[in-house]
Amino acid sequence: MRDVFIAGTGQTDIGEHWDRSLKDLAVEAVCAALPAERRGEVDCLLVGNMLSGELASQENLGACAADWAGLGPVEAVKIESACASGGAAFREGYLRVASGASDCALVLGVEKMTDLLPDGVSAGLALAADGDTENLHGATFVALNALIMRRYMHENGCRHEDFSGFAVNAHRNAAANARAMFRREVTGEDYARACMVASPINLLDSSAICDGAGAVLLCADPQALGNARRIRVTGSGAACDTIAVASRQDPLQLLAAELSSRRALAGAGRKAEDIDLFELHDAFSIMAVLSLEACGFAPRGRGLRLALEGEIGPRGRVPIATRGGLKARGHPVGATGVLQVIDAVAQLRGEAGASQVPEARVAMTQNIGGSGASIYTHILEAEG
Amino acid sequence: MRDVFIAGTGQTDIGEHWDRSLKDLAVEAVCAALPAERRGEVDCLLVGNMLSGELASQENLGACAADWAGLGPVEAVKIESACASGGAAFREGYLRVASGASDCALVLGVEKMTDLLPDGVSAGLALAADGDTENLHGATFVALNALIMRRYMHENGCRHEDFSGFAVNAHRNAAANARAMFRREVTGEDYARACMVASPINLLDSSAICDGAGAVLLCADPQALGNARRIRVTGSGAACDTIAVASRQDPLQLLAAELSSRRALAGAGRKAEDIDLFELHDAFSIMAVLSLEACGFAPRGRGLRLALEGEIGPRGRVPIATRGGLKARGHPVGATGVLQVIDAVAQLRGEAGASQVPEARVAMTQNIGGSGASIYTHILEAEG
């Protein structure tokens, strides 16, 4: 397998774009990542998206995006893995370039969620849960995560307020990110007062419905990178778990996070201790906790302590959501896995401003589909 | 890149399965392709599907299918490219094994279309057309193909009855295929009498809405194949075109068919003359004609002559739809690209009964998404 480098990144603002379509968002991100003069070099386009058919009445999104962005007859395909669609598309791009099937792959993640009433979006998102045993009984994703969070609190004897550090950290970091959805800080008191969504999950435990797109250009030739600091994708791992939470032996173990991070770390020749920042999938606070535990950053039942002890901030032991994360940068589902990579690249290039992780050289990203059903983990490293 | 072999195939009957779910169909095809004792060898599952979200209320279909089929925590993802989703998934599987990213990849194509009223299915299929310029004006796929067929007849001075050979050939071949949807022969008179769907396209120009699944096991190790005749995937090509037909300089040129077949043939070191059978995308008769022309089997405007001169039958110069094709074997959209491979394998193994192509050694499959917007072409060859 060949080395794979990040040759460009681009994104839209993340938020509610009531005046813009899926097409507008996709084209903006592609143009931001890909200088016009390099358009002819791209030989494949991988599009991460979950709900273009349901929410934007458009399938065949690979061919659409290639057409919209003026990429000509280039091969293009849509990759769907629920909220991990962006991570799945990034892995495809990585494998294409690493294997020599592509010399220059463009990965686009895009989602347009605000054109429907919130009920419609929740119903759409619920398509990532098990149709027979979860959806059928009306379990939305926030409901499923609430059950998991309740179980975690019960098993580990912790209180709801113990989770406040995740929202506080994410919002503080987002304040330093000009493209983030929620650029305002929140406090522990805000968290205590936030309205309940599905007990024990409150508003500040939850990422919001939003729109956005991100694009990353991957290439094999480091000469093509120009003067930017060289960022290499050194590890990639993917794994699945049962689609229904109830089918798992242990609902508090993210088996696919464990397996995919182990594979990505092994590929990079790294250990969890080597990771300088971890862009994890904090769609809900409880998912951040379970990811930290599954990937070896904390023993089982102790992930919460990292937040309580202030270790998840940019200068902590395991910086997470360093540009705002899903919680505050925003979670346009199919785009998220690509946005995580863009955030990690900003850190590795020292461009993260007030939320910069000092001397960041090794970053991990992890994108989760369903309640832990499909998980993609990547390692990115700054060279030179 | 390594050699890639077909290590197993399996499928459901193709037709209307009112009593069976998407899950039932997926599991049957996987179990038919993959002996239980080999389940542990599979390291990735690529699922081709277009409309599971819209028609079966289930996304994250990769993880679902892996779970349903008992494949454990294996990496799994859904690939969407409209009616070419199966071909796109097959290409992903091929690339994974060829590159060494996978030693044993399972490709599943599945679609469950009959649970909705026909209006709902047509609206779902229309999501593969351009939302802004085609869908918005109510153009269904049959309407778009009717415009193309009318233009073809005008430019080339041919009559509607000249197209009858495609339906007659497909139905005759399907009669010899126990898994086909329409196992009855039709005549030129039946064609002349068939009811009009969207002039000039009549019922026998059109593939039908149906359900079905197919699965193909790909592996790098020829030792794993046992005693079956060795079938190797020798070429793979993909390309896109504009999503809207009206954006093309020439609506009668399938540019992506031309490019993808050229790439696949070049990869295999073959020319069009070497192809013993061509499983093409005869969703409508006119698409079969345009594919024959785009891939070099006939000059422009002369593809129809192959049918008129009897050259598309199993003993003709360019046998097509040899197991019934999309027209008569059936076209469960996301499954079709995988079913084409299964049909080609049956021919290359000499198991096609009354529609066997004599001494078939080199087969080409071609799967089309949208009105020619995304196209996947593969070459399969029998060895030894």
B5-117+209-225 and B233-383 agree in CATH topology:
yes
Show which of residues 65-124 on chain B sit within 8 Å of chain A, judged by CB atoms.
Answer: 66-67, 73-82, 88, 92, 95-96, 98-101, 124
As a residue count, chain B comes to 384
As a residue count, chain A comes to 384
Spell out which residues of chain A touch residue B135, defining contact as CB-CB under 8 Å: 57
Q: Which of A181, A261, A101, A322 is nearest to B100 (CA)?
A: A101
**pLDDT above 70 (res A167):** yes
Whole-angstrom distance, CA of residue B371 vs CA of residue B378: 19
**pLDDT above 80 (res A329):** yes
Spell out which residues of chain B touch residue A82, defining contact as CB-CB under 8 Å: 59-60, 63
Of A76, A124, A131, the CB nearest to B374: A76
Spell out which residues of chain B touch residue A74, defining contact as CB-CB under 8 Å: 239-240
Spell out which residues of chain B touch residue A73, defining contact as CB-CB under 8 Å: 239-241, 255-256, 259
DSSP A332: -
C-alpha A191 chain-centroid distance:
23
Is residue A130 less than 8 Å (CB to CB) from chain B? yes
pLDDT score recorded for residue A228: 76
Q: How confident is the model over A109-161, as pLDDT tens digits?
A: 999 999 876 678 888 898 999 998 998 888 999 999 999 999 999 999 999 99
Active-site option among B83, B104, B210, B295: B83
Chain A's closest residue to B2, CA to CA, is A99
Is residue B318 less than 8 Å (CB to CB) from chain A? no
Q: CB pairs below 8 Å between A and B: how many?
A: 181
Q: Which of B35, B220, B49 is nearest to B124 (CA)?
A: B49
Percent over 90 (pLDDT), chain A: 89
Compute the average pLDDT of residues A352-374.
98
Locate the domains of chain B by residue range. 5-117+209-225, 233-383
Q: Which of A136, A116, A115, A114 is nearest to A126 (CA)?
A: A136
Which contiguous run of DSSP H or E holds residue A235? strand A230-240
For the domain covering A4-117+209-225, report its CATH number. Answer: 3.40.47.10
**φ and ψ at residue B235, rounded to 5 degrees:** -155, 145
pLDDT score recorded for residue B339: 98
Full DSSP string of A265-313 = HHHHT--GGG-SEEE---SBHHHHHHHHHHTTSS-TT-HHHHHHTT-SS
Q: How confident is the model over B124-146, as pLDDT tens digits?
A: 898 999 998 998 888 999 999 99
Distance from CA of B361 to the nearest CA of A (A): 26
Active-site residue set of A: 83, 331
**A148 — alpha (psi -120 to 50), left (phi > 0) or beta?**
alpha
Distance from CA of A82 to the nearest CA of B (A): 5
pLDDT score recorded for residue A116: 74
What share of residues in chain A are helix, strand, coil (percent, to 5)?
45, 20, 35
Active-site option among B17, B160, B281, B331: B331
The C-alpha R_g of chain A, in whole angstroms, comes to 19
Spell out which residues of chain A touch residue B70, defining contact as CB-CB under 8 Å: none
**Cross-strand partners of B284:** B206
DSSP-based three-state secondary structure for A40: helix
Show which of residues 1-20 on chain B sit within 8 Å of chain A, judged by CB atoms.
Answer: 1
Q: Residue A245 has which token pair?
A: 């939470």
Is residue B26 less than 8 Å (CB to CB) from chain A? no
Whole-angstrom distance, CA of residue A319 vs CA of residue A322: 6
pLDDT score recorded for residue B222: 78
CB atoms under 10 Å from CB of A358, counted, come to 9
pLDDT score recorded for residue B123: 86
Spell out which residues of chain A touch residue B75, defining contact as CB-CB under 8 Å: 238-240
Of A58, A73, A82, the CB nearest to B60: A82
Residue type at B50 in one-letter notation: M
- The number of CA neighbours under 13 Å toward the Cβ of A233 is 31
Q: Residue B343 has which token pair?
A: 């049909």
Location of structure tokens 């463009």: A106
Cβ–Cβ below 8 Å for A374 and B60: yes
Chain A's closest residue to B75, CA to CA, is A239
**A289 — alpha (psi -120 to 50), left (phi > 0) or beta?**
alpha
pLDDT score recorded for residue B1: 87
Per-chain mean pLDDT for chain A? 96
CATH 3.90.950.20 matches B5-117+209-225: no
List the single best residue of A59, A108, A133 to mutate versus B (max B Cβ within 10 A). A59
Query: Which residues, given as ranges, of chain B have pLDDT below 70?
Result: 117-118, 225, 227
Q: What is the 3-state secondary structure (H, E, C) of chain B?
A: CCCCEEEEEEECCCECCCCCCHHHHHHHHHHHHCCHHHHHHCCEEEEECCCHHHHHCCCCHHHHHHHHCCCCCCEEEEEEECECHHHHHHHHHHHHHHHCCCCEEEEEEEECCCCCCHHHHHHHHHHHCCCCCCHHHCCCHHHHHHHHHHHHHHHHCCCHHHHHHHHHHHHHHHCCCCCCCCCCCCCHHHHHHCCEEECCEEHHHECCCCEEEEEEEEECCHHHHCCCCEEEEEEEEEEECCCCHHHCCCCCCCHHHHHHHHHHHHHHCCCHHHCCEEECCCCEHHHHHHHHHHCCCCCCCCHHHHHHCCCCCCCCCCCECCCCHHHHCCCCHHHHHHHHHHHHHHHHCCCCHHHCCCCCCEEEEEEEECCCCEEEEEEEEEEC
Cβ–Cβ below 8 Å for A96 and B95: yes
Distance from CA of B212 to the nearest CA of A (A): 19
Domain topology for B233-383 = Peroxisomal Thiolase; Chain A, domain 1 (3.40.47)
Of A101, A128, A241, the CB nearest to B99: A101
pLDDT score recorded for residue A223: 77
Chain B's closest residue to A369, CA to CA, is B60
Compute the average pLDDT of residues A196-219.
97
Is residue B247 less than 8 Å (CB to CB) from chain A? yes
pLDDT score recorded for residue B374: 98
Q: How confident is the model over A221-269, as pLDDT tens digits?
A: 877 767 678 999 999 999 999 999 999 999 999 999 999 999 999 999 9
Cβ–Cβ below 8 Å for A77 and B88: yes
Spell out which residues of chain B touch residue A108, defining contact as CB-CB under 8 Å: none
Question: Which residues are within 8 A (CB) of B25 and not within 5 positions of it... i.e. 6 or more apart?
Answer: B12, B17, B110, B112, B211, B212, B213
Q: Which of B105, B110, B38, B109 is nearest to B70 (CA)?
A: B38
Quick check: A142 and A206 in contact, CB under 8 A?
Answer: yes
